[in-house]
Amino acid sequence: MPDVGEGLTEAEILKWYVQPGDTVADGQVVCEVETAKAAVELPSPFDGVVHELLFPEGTTVDVGQVIISVNVGGDAPAEAPAVPAAAPAPAAPAPAEEEPEPQGRQPVLVGYGVAATSTKRRPRKGATAVSAAVPEQAAAAIQGELNGHGGVATAARPLAKPPVRKLAKDLGVDLTTVTPTGPDGIITREDVHAAAAPAVEAPAPVVEAPAPVSAPAAVPAPAVSADARETRIPIKGVRKATAAAMVGSAFTAPHVTEFVTFDITRTMKLVEELKSDKDMAGLRVNPLLLIAKAVLVAAKRNPDINAAWDEANQEIVLKHYVNLGIAAATPRGLIVPNIKDAHAQTLPELSKSLSELVATAREGKTTPAAMQGGTFTITNVGVFGVDTGTPILNPGESAILAVGAIKLQPWVHKGKVKPRQVTTLALSFDHRLVDGELGSKFLADVAAILEQPKRLITWS
């Protein structure tokens, strides 16, 4: 099990895409795993034939454990072992005289090279013996031959581990242009962030409160008898990470929540007009798009709202960029992917980014990188018919805005009571960073923009 990113120590195997006896190619996805932050697809580092799957679906495996072995000799084993019902006990090492001489590259765990201390396994009876590791004397030679993706290192393919390659893909970084600083010329996460820095300022990693993602292959629900009075569900994955983050946030940052109720009728009319605008053709236009834009304009007018509290260094970190998080609820739990540098995007660009963010979350393909570095979050509880709420901050952020349901209500407009579209916004903020004056001004600005959307132009 490779380190899929951000210091995570374990992952649950959601689904195997291959079975013993299947032919696989270098880079082919062999399984999907769920970490505390996202579902991640793992590629095979070899061309060969799957010999054994060492853990069944639904098993939580520590980083570093062997989960699959591949016969790289090209021949399928005589008898392909089935997926075990539970994690196998370590096999006793075979005597040195019984250990076969290594023939070429040997199978290792997905995403890693060969470790010199890898455990040797006895050959199985009735099957061609395929080791889950290689003899120690061959390890050093093969390790130098492998790049981070399990292939042979060549001048055309930079050295980088799968999580680093994934990070580079997410940030749009070409690994061939990155200067490696890791041992033996391996590209590290820091190298990728440094290469991306001219285009995207890499924020300090923070633990993000997950936003919803669509559930890929979910673990079967616990069996419940017809007369059961209780059901127990293991706390793991996104749910476990969300719980830890919310408890940490609630009892670390002193929360204050303020509310404003206002007439959003003009913004709703603008939404309808934009839907027929040729410049927005093919793009999704909804109230959330203009609310997000209003937040970005208000943040520009009140820049101190976009900050973080650095407890270790006793500093307030003002962010001169906005990575706008959008909370999404899915069967796997709550996740908050964010739009990088949302403050620099035009309205059409912001619409496209929002659509991609939501679609990726629903498909369960949100990456850990997409949930890192958020600076401000919007949670739209109004889609559930809820008027408002008191949201908890994502760790590392100073504020979060809850958007309530937009409803037709009686409202005093130009001296007369008329039916108008009305909504309520709730802003929770960290009172160490944001005092009542700043929080009130920011919230009032967001409401003022949405009440008179022409301010999107005059205040920009």
325 closest CA partner among 436, 259, 245: 245
In whole angstroms, give the CA distance from residue 71 to residue 84: 18
- Joined together, the tokens standing for residue 154 give 């060549």
Instruction: Sort 346 into a burial class: Cβ within 10 Å, 0-12 / 13-18 / 19+.
Output: exposed
Sign of CA dihedral 185, 189, 194, 198: positive
What backbone torsions phi and psi does residue 134 show, to the nearest 5 degrees? -120, 160
Residues 6 or more apart whose Cβ sits within 8 Å of residue 119: 90, 91, 93, 132, 133
2 close to 112: Cβ distance less than 8 angstroms: yes
Element (H, E) at 68: strand 68-71
- Joined together, the tokens standing for residue 274 give 């934009």
43 closest CA partner among 8, 12, 68: 68
75 close to 31: Cβ distance less than 8 angstroms: no
Buried b (16+ CB within 10 A) or exposed e, 26-46: eeeebbbbbbbbbbbbbbbbb
Report CA-CA distances (Å) from 315 to 207, 305, 312, 398, 421.
18, 15, 8, 13, 42
Q: Is 431 a catalytic residue?
A: yes
In whole angstroms, give the CA distance from residue 6 to residue 186: 18
Element (H, E) at 406: none
In whole angstroms, give the CA distance from residue 159 to residue 393: 38
- Joined together, the tokens standing for residue 380 give 């739209």
Annotated catalytic residue within 51, 320, 413, 431:
431
In whole angstroms, give the CA distance from residue 272 to residue 253: 39
Collapse the DSSP code of 302 into the 3-class scheme (helix H, G, I; strand E, B; otherwise coil) and give the result: coil
Sign of CA dihedral 290, 293, 294, 295: positive
Q: Which stretches of 161-254 are assigned E, i.e. beta strand? A: none
In whole angstroms, give the CA distance from residue 280 to residue 284: 8
Residues with active-site annotation: 431
